[in-house]
Amino acid sequence: MKKGIFIFLFSALALISQAQVLSPVLWTFSSKKIGDKSYEIRLTANIQKSWHMYSQTQPADAIVNPTVVSFKTNPLVKLDGKLVELGKLELYKDKKLGISANQYSDKLEYVQKVKLKSSAKTKMVGSVEFQTCDDKKCLPSKKVDFSIALD
C-alpha cells in the first residue's frame, strides 16, 4: 500500500512540475554572409499563440522587463551599426492601471550587422534576456545563451 501511495505522489509531482515549466518562445540563431568579411547575425523568436514578449525600448510608464541582447566582446569582430528589431510592434495600454508596453506577438527578429577584422573563422557569443506574458500571467525573465559561427 505504501509503495502505491509513493508512486502516486511521485507521478503527481512530476506532472505538476512539467505543467509549471512554460516556454512560449522558441529561439533560432543564425548568420548570413552579406559581403566581404560582413555578416548579419539573426536572433529569431517564434512566439506561441496568445503570448507576447517585449521590445528593447519601452514607454516611460511601462513596468515590464525590456528585452536585452548582449554580445560578448570578440577581438576579431566589430559590430556594424545598432541592433535592429524587426516585427509587428504592438502598443499595449491598460487605462485602469495607467501603464503601457511595446510588445510583439508571433515572431520577432533581432538583426546585427558585423564585420570581421581578419579572414579567421570565429563566432559571435552572447545572450538574450526576455520576458513573456499572456492575458493572464507573466513569466519571470529568462536568459538564453547563443553561439553563432561566422565562416
Whether residue 126 contacts residue 74, with contact meaning beta carbons closer than 8 Å, is answered with no
Helix (H) or strand (E) holding 54: strand 52-54
The three grid cell numbers given for residue 110, joined into one nine-digit string: 533581432
Q: Hey, what CATH class is 24-150 in?
A: mainly beta
pLDDT digits (tens, 9 = 90+) for 109-137: 999 999 999 988 999 999 999 999 998 99
Instruction: Name the pTM for this structure.
Output: 0.82
Render pLDDT for 98-110 as a digit per residue (tens, 0 to 9): 899 999 999 999 9
CB distance 131 to 51 below 8 Å: no
The amino acid sitting at 47 is: I
Place of cell 508512486: 7
Rg of the Cα atoms in the chain: 20
